[in-house]
Structure 1
Amino acid sequence: MERMQGEGEVDHLERPSPLTDKERVILQDSWAKVYQNCDDVGVAILIRLFVNFPSSKQYFSNFKNIERPEELEKSAQLRNHARRVMNSINTLVENLENTDKVASVLKMLGKGHALRHKVEPIYFKILGGVILEVLGEEFPEVVTAEVAEAWTKLLATLYFGITTTYDEVGWSKLSTATG
């Protein structure tokens, strides 16, 4: 397994500045276009993640041994997980003006991935980069520089929220105890 810088540790980041009203509108408008193709986009995101960062597959017993992207694409389990990822993003984007709801969703995602699935937090940062890359390639007419900037800020906010939860559940102690 390739070792990633900072593995086992949670980045201690500064909280990103809150989204502006304009950024929320930009995110919701661009997401509405993306979400129309949520199944295909979700699968493209996960396949890109697994191809470019093969160590990320270790957390998925159902398809961690599938090597070829074509086979991954056919996996019902991968498609189901892709839909869950896209639905979670959709919930977050739909509720951008409700900071309590966003915080609640991020806390739930963080706790589940830290305690139940034992996913290293760095993978959320990696996933954010993959999401931005795939959206830019699949929707070049939608993801302008201004839209990409808003998504970058949102993904940083999501990563901050999830890693904060990792801190709250004692991730650094958990990962050294189980590693």
Structure 2
Amino acid sequence: MERMQGEGEVDHLERPSPLTDKERVMIQDSWGKVYQNCDDAGVAILVRLFVNFPSSKQYFSQFKHIEDQEELEKSPQLRKHARRVMNAINTVVESLENSEKTTSVLQVVGKAHALRHKVEPVYFKILNGVILEVLAEAFSEVMTAEVAAAWTKLFASLYCTITAVYEELGWKKHSTSTG
């Protein structure tokens, strides 16, 4: 059963310490290998998200009713969204030394998902976990414990930034439906 703790609320998390130079390099090096397979990795991430957290599909009118995993994997709309997710992550990873650019990207993503798509902020946390899980499985040769810890720290920071955007927008729960 899917658990949605704190749904509709914005977490108040302490921002993790900034990434060290070593952590930035580990993230960028590992991402380089992932991004070479960006389409397959992105599809794997979204399919895992939708299979493990079916309520996350409610935000996607084009494929929210697709139950079959193979059909999901082949969906042109899912593939297109997977590419957008991977490109956004790529922009963030390439810009780790430029906090203004990273913040700018996350503000655009946060505003769009809060205002236009009305996505509960908890789904960003869920997606972060799914990304880490898929990368650990598909890229085990580069996703060592130390690299995974750096990614976890990055995702915690990104989540704090996105939830801050939601708070600035005065986020209120928009939906009671979770599946």
What TM-score results when the alignment is normalised by the length of structure 2?
Answer: 0.95
Which range moves more in the overlay, 2-11 or 131-140? 2-11
Cα distance per residue 1:79-117 (max 9 Å; x no partner): 000000000000000000000001111111100000000
Cα distance per residue 1:35-71 (max 9 Å; x no partner): 0000000000000000000000000000000001100
For 2:126, the equivalent position in structure 1 comes to 126
In the alignment, does 2:155 pair up with 1:155?
yes
In the alignment, does 2:96 pair up with 1:78?
no
**Separation of aligned partners in 2, 1:131 and 1:123:** 12
For 1:141, the equivalent position in structure 2 comes to 141
For 1:18, the equivalent position in structure 2 comes to 18
**Separation of aligned partners in 2, 1:3 and 1:145:** 26
For 2:102, the equivalent position in structure 1 comes to 102
Question: Which residue identity lines up with residue 167 of structure 1 in the other structure?
Answer: E
Compare the two structures and name the one with the higher helix fraction: 1
Residues 87-98 of structure 1 aligned to structure 2 (within 5 Å): 87-98=87-98
Question: Which residue identity lines up with residue 83 of structure 1 in the other structure?
Answer: R
**Separation of aligned partners in 1, 2:104 and 2:142:** 29
**Separation of aligned partners in 2, 1:132 and 1:8:** 23
Question: Which residue identity lines up with residue 159 of structure 2 in the other structure?
Answer: Y
Residues 24-35 of structure 1 aligned to structure 2 (within 5 Å): 24-35=24-35
Number of paired residues?
A: 176
Q: Secondary structure in 2 aligned to 1:45?
A: helix
For 1:37, the equivalent position in structure 2 comes to 37
Q: CA RMSD in A?
A: 1.4
Unaligned runs of 5+ residues in structure 1 are: none
For 2:169, the equivalent position in structure 1 comes to 169
How big is the shift at 1:3? 6.6
For 1:61, the equivalent position in structure 2 comes to 61
How big is the shift at 1:34? 0.4
For 1:4, the equivalent position in structure 2 comes to 4
Cα distance per residue 1:111-155 (max 9 Å; x no partner): 000000000000000000000000000001010011000000011
Q: Secondary structure in 2 aligned to 1:171?
A: coil
Question: Which residue identity lines up with residue 123 of structure 1 in the other structure?
Answer: Y
How big is the shift at 1:5? 1.6
Question: Which residue identity lines up with residue 140 of structure 1 in the other structure?
Answer: S
Structure 2 vs 1, CA of residues 21 and 3 (structure 1 numbering), >3 Å: closer, same or farther? closer
Q: Following TM superposition, where does structure 1 have runs of at least 4 consecutive aligned residues deviating by more than 4 angstroms?
A: none
Question: Which residue identity lines up with residue 107 of structure 2 in the other structure?
Answer: K
How big is the shift at 1:4? 1.7
What TM-score results when the alignment is normalised by the length of structure 1?
Answer: 0.95
Q: Secondary structure in 2 aligned to 1:66?
A: coil
